[in-house]
Amino acid sequence: MMTSLGRGIATGYLIFVALGLIIAFGVLWSTKAGRRDKGQGVDIERAERAEPWWGVFVVVLLAILLGLTIWRAPWFSEDDSPKDVQVKVTGMQFGFLVQPTTVRVGQHVEFNVASKDVNHAMGLYNPEGQMIMNVEAVPGYTTSRSYLFTEPGSYTIRCLEFCGYQHHKMIYPAFQVTA
């Protein structure tokens, strides 16, 4: 099941793919007319003059996307306000050490993610199986990421950075969020 962000990405992607396919189909269909007039019915110079404007259009679209999203980059999303509880998550081949293992609904939790050996990543999945958090665990460093829990239940932590032959078994099955 997708998260709301995942659904948003999928929707935006499909809209642009559909637009692109319509344009591509139009271009290919135009070769029918080209066959009739032996490809002579096109003003090539006009098409060349229009190319920079197509470039400008693409730049404007990308600038809008940049303006809308860059402030939501993970490293900008964290604030310095005090959190209700700190949870230390340490990755090691092939398991997670989690302390404490239980928090309450409504608590603003800061996860301090670290690694004892190689790169790992903490993928946090809610009881519905949606991935709600994704944090890299870099050896020698701590990465902090906070989350406000609104739903009780048993959450799962999976390793999302390839870490060796038991990578797929690196699961912490029951991080508890109580009502």
Partner 1 sequence: MTTTTLPPAPAGALPYDDSEMPLALVQAKTRRFVLRVIWTSSAFLVIAGILGLLLRLRQGEVITLGDNFWYAIMTAHGLGAFVAWAGFFLMGITFWVLMKVGFPLRSFVLPEVMYWSMVLGVVGIVLTTLLAGFAGSWVFLYPLPFFSAGQWSDTVTGVFAFSVLLAGVSILAYCAAVLHTTISPALKATKDTLGQRIALAFGFGLLFPSRFKTTRGKEPYPVLPFAVNAVDMFLATLPFALLLVFEIIQSTGRGFSINVLLAGNLLWAFGHPVVYLLLFPAAATYYYLIPRYAGRELVAGKAVAVAWLIALTMNLFVWAHHLYMNYPDGQNVQQSLGTIMQPTTYALVLPSALSLYSIAATIWRSNFQWNVASKFLVAGIVSWLVAGLQGVINATAAFQETLHNTLWIVGHFHNMAFLNMGLLIFGAMYAFLPELMGKPWWNERLGSWHLWGTIIGAYGWVTCQMIQGLEGAPRRWAVLPDQYLTLTHVSLGFLALLVAAQLVFAYNLWTTLRKSPFDDPSAVQVRGGTQA
Site for partner 1 in 59-88 (CB under 8 A): 59, 62, 65-66, 69-70, 72-75
User: How many CB atoms neighbour CB 167 within 10 A?
Assistant: 16
Window 20-59: residues binding partner 1 (CB under 8 A): 20-21, 23-24, 27-28, 30-31, 33-35, 37-39, 41-42, 44, 47-49, 51-52, 54-55, 58-59
SS3 62: helix
Q: Which listed range, 81-89, 96-104, 158-166, lies at the site for partner 1 (CB under 8 A)?
A: 158-166
C-alpha 87/C-alpha 90 separation (Å) is: 10
Give per-residue burial for 67-87: e unless 16+ CB within 10 Å, then b.
Answer: eeeeeeeeeeeeeeeebeeeb
1, 79, 80, 150: residue in contact with partner 1 (rule CB under 8 A): 1
| 32: β partners | none
Q: Which listed range, 81-89, 95-103, 111-119, lies at the site for partner 1 (CB under 8 A)?
A: 111-119
Binding of partner 1 by 18 (CB under 8 A):
no
What secondary structure does DSSP assign to 68-105, as a single string? Answer: HHGGGSHHHH---SPPSEEEEEEEETTEEEEES-EEET
What is the nearest approach in angstroms of partner 1 to the Cβ of residue 19? 10
What is the nearest approach in angstroms of partner 1 to the Cβ of residue 171? 9
What is the nearest approach in angstroms of partner 1 to the Cβ of residue 98? 18
86, 108, 131, 152: residue in contact with partner 1 (rule CB under 8 A): 131
Q: How many CA atoms lie within 13 A of 102 on its CB side?
A: 3
Which residues have C-beta within 8 Å of that of residue 82, sequence separation ≥ 6?
Answer: none
96, 111, 149, 161: residue in contact with partner 1 (rule CB under 8 A): 161
